[in-house]
Amino acid sequence: MSTVAINHQAPETAAPPLLTDTAIDGMAAYEALVNEARSDRTGFWARLAREHLSWHRPFTKVLDESNAPFFKWFDDGLLNASYNCLDRHLHDGNANKTAIIFEADDGSVTTITYRQLHARVCRLANALRARGIVCGDRVMIYLPMSIEGVVAMQACARIGALHSVVFGGFSAKSLHERMVDVGAVAVITADEQMRGGKNLPLKSVVDEALKMAGTDGIHTVIVYRRTGGSILWDEPRDCWLHELEAAQPDTCEPEWVGAEHPLFVLYTSGSTGTPKGVQHSTAGYLLWAAVTMKWTFDLRTDDVYWCTADIGWITGHSYICYGPTAVGATQVIFEGVPTWPDAGRFWEMIARHKVSIFYTAPTAIRSLIKAAETNSGVHPRRFDLDSLRLLGTVGEPINPSAWEWFAREVGGGRCPVLDTFWQTETGGHMITPLPGATPLVAGSCTLPLPGIEAAIVDETGCELPNGQGGLLVVKEPWPSMLRAIWGNPQRFRSGYYPADLGGKLYLAGDGAIRDAQTGYFTITGRIDDVLNVSGHRMGTMEIESALAAHPLVAEAAVVGRPDETIGEAIVAFVVLKGPRPQGTEARQLADQLRAWVGKEIGPIAKPKEIRFGDSMPKTRSGKVVRRLLRSVAKGETLAQDMSTVENPAVLRQFGHHE
């Protein structure tokens, strides 16, 4: 952990200009940047780092590959992420510019300028220091979508504490696992959150997690009063956010940290069932968040940008908390759901706030297509969407029909639709069209950004020709790549730089194919046991483990099947310790198991379908044959080779719905 304690003073390098003409305005400009990166890789990244970040002490080293794949970027430079996102706007004419337009679940709107946001972050940063939280400590954040969420993340960054944000839909058990793994000393949460007109608990979930073993190191719980709902209180551990802030000054000297100092740890599902703590560095991560805001979104000074993600996911980190603030953008943050109070909510908000850049998930688009087809009153054509000039999608590949509807009905045929491919691990966009430059193709994320050397290889690491599908890899390191899996260097190395591929290629975990003529990339799906449910990554092993922990369950296997609304639906095959249930008993038990999984992991992990059998289809060595279960889940005729399956007849038991 590279922290540096020095006297606090202004950075030696002047703040770079923010929203200058940084767009890539054509394929010639794109190709020039690609060639620059290929001909002088370290010079390319050094130029971007000097142009887009403010450094307290300039770096002299660009890339250290001596301990590959544990790469280091700009390692001897000093900076602070919060300073880069806030302080420099106080001196560049943007202090009074609106930073955030926050719309709550009930439609009430709050705005905050960069000057006001800076003051709030400083007050909370001072409060964290007053509670004994220091540089290098880890702070859990379990908050609703809110200005407070951005304030909490930036306040941690300001004092050099690492934040670990957990999505508000996760259970106490999931929260507890992450608390213990990261070694948290504090939690920032709220009494409740509002979603779709309902009050949902947060503080009580934290209380439940803190009753479990291994949480003795957490000495502070800071509570944002969101609803005023009744909660339990533990004095002096628990304290109100508004009271802490009120007692502190609105200036706070930032902690200047080394470029490789971890900014945050964000947990994501893995194929082994244990969540992975993806660790990102300060400089490399922030650089790419800022650069991609400008390149991908062609950001201009008068834009109103809206990303509908949650801060509990990487999209909310990169394209809500850090990217927009690093470049001085005005953004909308939304607390609710797209179908409350009706399915016209997104379109009404775009019209009212004059949103010009709209970034959302294919899952949301597909659900709103269905709503528009059945209720003309919520169709986007009923709203004034003329302010829009750019549309983007994130979280999963978008199918061509949804892409075309989005472009036609929301964008009016005039707005580029950017299908962005990237991951929690990459920190920012990797393969994406560029507005005004890349010719668009529905369903394709098109070409890698300059500096990203993506390729498709076979299982031995040999590059494949265009038109042939294989494994998506990145051939060269880049600054925003994850630095580690928290506390598990072996899992990092084997999972992302596997020996089977030579140990030098970053394995994305997705399959892909390049068009034979254009070279455009299309993502074909995960190659491991990770499902993409409504844009959220869920490990099948994690769900299987939760089901197997139920006292009635002997064995469980989980697979995904295509779903036209949510992308992939979770299908669970369950063998009970007792007899296989039928009829009403099976339906009741399936509901019971869904509720169990919701409690163990969170509502997003509940299987859409549960099927019961007397035993699992297994090889003679005892391995569950999941490829056959995937076919059963999809309703396919079983024409596959079953010679290695010891008991193929059991598949008939699972062939009927619960």
Delimit the domains of the chain by residue range. Answer: 27-337+421-510, 534-654
Q: Is the peptide bond before 581 cis (omega within 30 degrees of 0)?
A: no
Q: What DSSP designation does 605 have? A: G
576 in Cβ contact with 610 (< 8 Å)? no
Predicted model pTM: 0.84
Give the C-alpha separation, 88 to 95, whole Å: 9
Residue that is written with structure tokens 């430079």 in the block: 77
**What pLDDT does residue 432 have?**
96
Q: Which two tokens stand for residue 22?
A: 């940084």
**What pLDDT does residue 643 have?**
53
623 has binding-site annotation: no
CA–chain centroid gap for 620, Å, is 40
563's enclosing H/E stretch is strand 553-563
Give the C-alpha separation, 11 to 31, whole Å: 34
318 has binding-site annotation: no
Question: Which CATH number is 27-337+421-510 given?
Answer: 3.40.50.12780
Give the C-alpha separation, 452 to 482, whole Å: 14
328 in Cβ contact with 89 (< 8 Å)? yes
386 has binding-site annotation: no
Give the C-alpha separation, 112 to 141, whole Å: 21
550 has binding-site annotation: yes
Instruction: Report the alpha-carbon angle 510-516-517, nearest 5.
Output: 130
242 has binding-site annotation: no
347's enclosing H/E stretch is helix 345-353
**What pLDDT does residue 567 have?**
80
Work out whether the CA dihedral 245, 248, 252, 256 comes out positive or negative.
negative
φ and ψ of 29, to 5 deg: -65, -40
Q: Which of 310, 323, 317 is nearest to 279 (CA)?
A: 317
Where would I find the beta strands (DSSP E) of 59-202?
63-64, 72-73, 78-79, 98-103, 109-113, 138-142, 162-165, 186-190, 192-195, 198-201
pLDDT, tens digit, 9 for 90 and up, residues 357-414:
999 998 889 889 888 988 999 999 999 999 999 999 998 888 888 899 999 999 999 9
**What pLDDT does residue 9 have?**
40
423 has binding-site annotation: yes
Give the C-alpha separation, 461 to 508, whole Å: 13
644 has binding-site annotation: no
366 in Cβ contact with 391 (< 8 Å)? no
396 has binding-site annotation: yes
φ and ψ of 93, to 5 deg: 90, 0
Q: Is the peptide bond before 69 cis (omega within 30 degrees of 0)?
A: yes
Residue that is written with structure tokens 């994501």 in the block: 268
| Helical residues (DSSP H) of 20-106, grouped into ranges | 27-39, 41-52, 81-85
106 has binding-site annotation: no
598 has binding-site annotation: no
**Topology, domain 534-654:** GMP Synthetase; Chain A, domain 3 (3.30.300)
**What pLDDT does residue 1 have?**
39
φ and ψ of 249, to 5 deg: -70, 160
Mean pLDDT of the chain: 90
439 has binding-site annotation: no
CA–chain centroid gap for 379, Å, is 28
424 has binding-site annotation: yes
253 has binding-site annotation: no
270 has binding-site annotation: no
Q: Are strands 109-113 and 98-103 parallel, antiparallel or unpaired?
A: antiparallel
298 has binding-site annotation: no
Angle between helices 114-130 and 147-159 (to 10 degrees): 60
Residues 6+ apart with CB under 8 A from 520: 441, 444, 445, 446, 447, 514
| Residue ranges, the chain, pLDDT below 70 | 1-22, 270-273, 528-529, 535, 537, 619-623, 638-646, 656-658
Q: Which of 60, 55, 46 is nearest to 79 (CA)?
A: 55
414 has binding-site annotation: no
